[in-house]
Amino acid sequence: MVIAAWTLAARLENGKSNALHRCMIRPILAAEFINHTAPTPRGSKGFVRLQQVIVCFVAAVCATLAGIPAAGQTRANPGAAAEKSATPGQFPPYRAARTPDGKPDLNGIWQAFVTADVDIQDHDAQAGPHPDVMGAYGAWPGGQGIVEGGEIPYKPEALAKKKENAGKRMVVNITSDPHRHDTGDPELKCYRPGVPRANYMPFPFQIIETPHVIVMAYEYARALRTIYMDNDKTVAADPPADSWMGWSHGHFEGDTLVVDSKGFVPYSWFDRAGDYHSDALHVVERYTPVSPYHIMYEATIEDPNVFTRPWKMTFPLYRRMEKNIQLVDFNCTEFVLDFLYGQYSKKTEK
């Protein structure tokens, strides 16, 4: 019965009935219900689920009697729904798998495939620095931006600072005081990328979900975030001090992991184009699993020192599917030692 309802509901994927649409999700619950051995008192979760299963079944039967072509008439071959090619930006309804303690399961190694690390706004491909020696190795890809609405609502003076940043993104002068952060893209120096940039660096990151915390471990620069879950009273609500990866508390809203982060140092950037923030940065991220292989990511950026209003960025994260996938080292500090401290090093003859 459940299988029949599911099959019919799948065929009616593009049908107009919301009730039918929900049937896509219900079979999973129905399966849970069937596995229930305890009695099901009226009004309990199990009873509601049973009702839903019945509604789905009845709806599916009605749809069958009414004739499938009527509901799926835009399609030449109604039986081909499952084989329909995917449409970018659209996912069929999905309920995330659960961890042993019943939370949506976000575990895995994930990676964004946008070019936002170059520029979070629309941008053309470019040669990158030193094409004379780097050739195509050093070129940067073009791409669509990830900023909702396209524009970042900078205050006028902040926009000037962004442009100055971009102009001096490769001007690096490492001192033994905070002036080291005056110019130069932190990525160039292998500093921790901050949030949200860590999530769209061209490197994978791993989510490790546990009953009490969710850890996000980034391959780039070995950056690490611990997200304290569910208003954990053993952890300070407010950041005790500023840090590169921020101070994060999280909770689930349905299947969506909502992470609220603040307490950032004012030195990280959003991209190589000089987009930046102050230490008033407040990021609210939403990680919504939309298939077993995708998470839709959304971040709301708020920083009254730099922007006139909060703004959003959105992009999908993809599950890395290699059988043997694991993070490997990108301890890039090793690669920038001479770059950072060359001015203090002994000059050697060539």
Binding letters toward another protein, positions 248-287, x by CB under 8 A: -------------------x--------------------
CA separation for the pair 26, 230 (Å, rounded): 27
Residue 334 CB, shortest distance to another protein, in Å, is 6
* 114's tokens: 């946008």
If one asks whether residue 243 binds another protein (CB under 8 A), the answer comes out as: yes
99 binding another protein? (CB under 8 A)? yes
Can you tell me the distance from the alpha carbon of 177 to that of 179, in angstroms, rounded to the nearest whole number? 5
Q: Which of 14, 40, 64, 107 binds another protein (CB under 8 A)?
A: 107
Give whichever of 123 and 262 is closer to another protein, judged by the CB atom: 262
Cβ(239)–Cβ(263) below 8 Å = yes
Answer for which of 35, 77, 87, 324 binds another protein (CB under 8 A) is 324
Q: How many CA within 13 A on the CB side of residue 265?
A: 14
Farthest-apart Cα atoms in the chain, separation: 87
Is residue 332 within 8 Å of 221, Cβ to Cβ? Answer: yes
Site for another protein in 192-211 (CB under 8 A): 192, 206, 208-211
Question: Smallest distance from the beta carbon of 199 to another protein, in angstroms?
Answer: 17
Q: Please choose, out of 58-66, 115-123, 162-170, 224-232, the segment that lies near another protein by the rule CB under 8 A.
A: 224-232
Q: Which residue in the set 57, 244, 269, 315 belongs to the binding site for another protein (CB under 8 A)?
A: 244
Q: Which two tokens stand for residue 98?
A: 């659960």
Left, alpha or beta for 67 (phi > 0: left; psi -120 to 50: alpha)? left
Q: How far is the CB of 242 from another protein (least distance, A)?
A: 9
Binding-site member from 96, 106, 245, 257 for another protein (CB under 8 A) = 245
* Single residue of 90, 322, 328, 350 touching another protein by CB under 8 A: 328
Residue 5: half-sphere exposure toward Cβ, Cα within 13 Å: 23
Amino acid making up residue 285:
E
What pairs with residue 189 in β-bridges? none
Q: Does 173 bind another protein (CB under 8 A)?
A: no
Q: Could you tell me the sign of the dihedral formed by the alpha carbons of 105, 108, 114, 118, in that order? A: positive
The residues with which 111 forms a beta bridge, in sequence order, are 318
**CB of 283: closest distance to another protein in angstroms?**
16
What lies within 8 Å, CB to CB, of 233 at 6+ separation is none
Q: Which is nearer to another protein, 123 or 192 (CB)?
A: 192
Among 97, 135, 150, 341, binds another protein (CB under 8 A): 341
Options 51, 73, 144, 175; binder of another protein; rule CB under 8 A? 175
Stretch that binds another protein, among 66-74, 76-84, 110-118, 182-190 (CB under 8 A): 182-190
Q: Contacting another protein (CB under 8 A), which of 90, 346, 349, 350?
A: 346
How many Å apart are CA 54 and CA 329, to the nearest integer? 52
For CA atoms 85, 87, 93, 94, give the dihedral sign.
positive
Question: Which C-beta is closer to another protein: that of 143 or that of 263?
Answer: 263
- Distance CA(151)–CA(161), nearest Å, equals 16
26 versus 197: smaller Cβ distance to another protein: 197
Residues 228 and 80: beta-carbon distance below 8 Å: no
Give the residues lining the site for another protein (CB under 8 A): 99-101, 107, 174-177, 180, 186, 189-192, 206, 208-213, 215, 217, 222, 224, 226, 228, 232-236, 238, 240-241, 243-245, 267, 324, 326-329, 331, 333-334, 336-338, 340-342, 344-346, 348
